[in-house]
Structures are given as C-alpha cells and as structure tokens.
C-alpha cells in the first residue's frame, strides 16, 4: 500500500472547490473516464489584470487525483494567469506534502489542465490537442508534448519514471518504442542545454552509461560477472536471483512472476495473480527489465508469456 501524507488524505476526504463553476472564464479538460482519470478545471478570471478570482474542479479518479485537483485550485486562486502558468506539477505535489512516485501522474494531470484552461480563456489553441500523429499512448491519451514536458519539468531519465508521471506505457505497452524515442530525444536536448548530466541520459535499448564512481551498488548483492563472460547457467541463475528479490513486493500486491525461458537477450516470464490484469503491468515489466539489465550488464527485453506458451 502507498503511504499518503495527512494533507493528501484531508484534500481527498474534504476536497476544496469541488463542483461546477457558473460562468467560468476558461475551462480545461484532460484525460478521459475510459482511461481511468479525468479532470475538468474551471477558472474565473478578472479581465482587468487577468487574476484568477475563483476555481472549481470535477475529477474522476483515485484519491491522489482528487487531492491534486483540489490542491491546484487552492494554489492558483489569487494568482495572475502568468503566475499560475509558472506552477509545475512538483509544486502541486509539494503543496500536498508529497505524492508516491506511482501517483505523480495525478499532479501532472493538474498541470496540464491548468495550461488548457488558460489557453481556453485566451482563445488559443492548446498545443496538446493531439495533432495528427502526436498521440503516442492511446490507452491513456498521452501525446509527445505531455511526455516531453513531464521529462523536462521533472528531469525524468527512465521509462519507469515516465510511466509514473504520465501513465504512458502502463497498459497494453504498444507505445513503448514511441515513448522511448521521445525520452531519448528530450534527454539528449537537455544534455545539450546543460540541464542534464550526460551520464544519466536515457538511451533506448540500454541503461544509462554511469561512471564507475557514480554507480550505486547494493551492499548485499556481490558484483556479477559481465554477461559476455557468463555461461548460460550463470545468466539464468542471476536472472532467477533478481526475480526472487522482486517477488516479495509483487506478492504483497497479490501478484507473482516466474522465469519461463531465456533466449539470448530475451527473458520470458510468466505473470500471475493481480499482475495479469493490472493496468500498470507494463510498468512492472519495465522495472524487472531495468533490474535485470543492471545485474547482467547488458540490455535485455522482458517478455510476458501466457500459461499456454
């Protein structure tokens, strides 16, 4: 179970500014009920100084989504539009005393809704209106612009982080390659602009190249031989060790994972229990993939298989 701050709980059980706002000056809508989360943000703006005088929201989603939406309205009331647009999703999370990493997408949804509401008030076409070809994750309605902003605003460098902050790749997984491309391209641009350590930049198909003095090693697991020097038996044994380390966490959530087969850099696993139909199953697979790549010292592709395979 995730741990929530007292403020998150308060804003969930006692949401501020929930409901419709009559004669709203601007309305921003993001997400979709079919995707699991949806937010409608309504703002009233004083035309003389473009100051937000009131804000209301309607949210369909989890407790973190409701708390983040409520917090957003509290933050923006009294601010000018330009001041409000400087607010980041991290500001929303900080206002609430923090959010679990797996729930950061709720704060991102608030950030996106605010941008949409301001654009609506100003009569502008919101750049996130999914131009042809820009929609990457159809399951959760996430496009390139949203992913790039989340990566830049939060210095994301892994696919797991992107999934936590946007939900992209968290369902069917067909958008993985497209999201990897955007993450790699955005990280490269951030490196060129001096905003990101080159050692941390994402590289599709492999782990970031981190200098030895910056690598974090487990005090428990002994250094493993590189995969090029591993025998097949050693590689399988290393994979099984990683899976055993991860299984307690999966079992706590009612799921499980077991090794089925290994073919070169492809690792076939069988997911069971809650892991089978979980909306974040793709995130779980990516987490396993990252741990295996770190242990084996090479890029690997984890492939879930069904019981009949």
Task: Pick out the residues of the known binding site for [2Fe-2S] cluster.
Answer: 137, 139, 172, 175
Residue range 39-93, pLDDT digits in tens: 899 999 999 999 999 999 998 877 888 999 999 999 999 999 999 999 999 999 9
35 is catalytic: yes
pLDDT at 131: 46
pLDDT per residue as tens digits for the range 195-226: 998 888 888 765 443 333 333 433 334 444 44
Out of 35, 257, 275, 278, the active site residue is 35
Please state, as a whole number, how many other Cβ atoms lie within 10 Å of the Cβ of residue 25: 21
How many Å separate Cα 70 from the centre of its chain?
A: 20
Please name each of the domains of the chain with its CATH number: 6-127 (3.90.1010.10), 130-214 (1.10.10.1100), 227-304 (3.30.300.130)
pTM given for the model: 0.57
257 is a catalytic site residue:
no
Name the CA radius of gyration of the chain, rounded.
21
Residue 31, helix vs strand vs coil: strand
Q: At 130, is the pLDDT very low, low, confident or very high (cuts 50, 70, 90)?
A: very low
List binding-site positions for Fe cation: 35, 62, 106
Distance between CA 185 and CA 264 in Å, rounded?
28
Mean pLDDT of 97-111: 86
Q: Residue 220 has what pLDDT?
A: 35
Q: What DSSP designation does 206 have?
A: B
């Amino acid at each position: 179970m995730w741990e929530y701050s007292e403020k998150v709980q308060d804003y969930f059980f006692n949401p501020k500014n929930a409901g419709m706002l009559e004669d709203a000056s601007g309305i921003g809508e993001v997400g979709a009920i079919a995707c699991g989360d949806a937010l409608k943000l309504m703002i009233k703006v004083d035309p003389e100084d473009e100051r937000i005088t009131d804000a209301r929201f309607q949210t369909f989603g989890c407790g973190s989504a409701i708390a983040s939406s409520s917090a957003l309205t509290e933050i923006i009331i009294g601010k000018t539009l330009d001041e409000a647009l400087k607010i980041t999703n991290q500001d929303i999370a900080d206002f609430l005393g923090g959010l679990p990493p797996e729930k950061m997408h709720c704060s991102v949804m608030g950030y996106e809704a605010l941008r949409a509401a301001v654009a609506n008030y100003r009569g502008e076409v919101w750049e996130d209106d999914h131009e042809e070809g820009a929609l990457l994750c159809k399951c959760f309605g996430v496009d390139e612009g949203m992913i790039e902003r989340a990566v830049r605003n939060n210095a994301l460098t892994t696919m797991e982080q992107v999934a936590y902050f946007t939900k992209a790749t968290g369902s069917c997984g067909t958008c993985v390659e497209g999201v990897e491309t955007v993450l790699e391209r955005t990280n490269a641009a951030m490196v060129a602009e001096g905003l990101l350590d080159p050692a941390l930049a994402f590289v599709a198909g492999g782990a970031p190249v981190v200098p030895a003095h910056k690598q974090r090693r487990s005090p428990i697991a002994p250094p493993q031989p590189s995969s090029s020097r591993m025998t097949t038996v050693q590689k399988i044994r290393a994979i099984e060790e990683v899976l055993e380390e991860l299984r307690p966490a999966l079992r706590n959530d009612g799921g499980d994972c077991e090794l089925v087969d290994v073919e070169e850099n492809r690792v076939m696993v069988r997911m069971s229990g809650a892991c089978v139909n979980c909306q974040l199953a793709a995130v779980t697979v990516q987490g396993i993939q990252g741990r295996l790549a770190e242990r084996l010292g090479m890029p690997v592709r984890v492939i879930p298989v069904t019981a009949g395979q």
